[in-house]
Amino acid sequence: MDIGGLGDKAKKAAGENRDKIEKTAGDAIDKANLGEKGDKAKDALKSGLDKLSDK
């Protein structure tokens, strides 16, 4: 199994679909009505996507 290749695929998918990922996950977090924890979850999501897309 080529771990490096899988990482590259994940980076590409996250970059190409970032807006959709953020919207879908953000909507799910909002629906769960987590308040401050929800905001932290959204920040963590954005941070993770930034790391995947090298931003």
pLDDT tens digit sequence for 1-40: 677 788 888 888 888 899 999 999 999 999 998 889 999 9
CB count in 10 Å sphere of residue 46: 16
Judged on CB neighbours under 10 Å (0-12, 13-18, 19+), 29 is middle
Domain ranges in the chain are: 21-55
pTM score: 0.72
User: 2, 28, 44: which is closest to 10 by C-alpha?
Assistant: 2
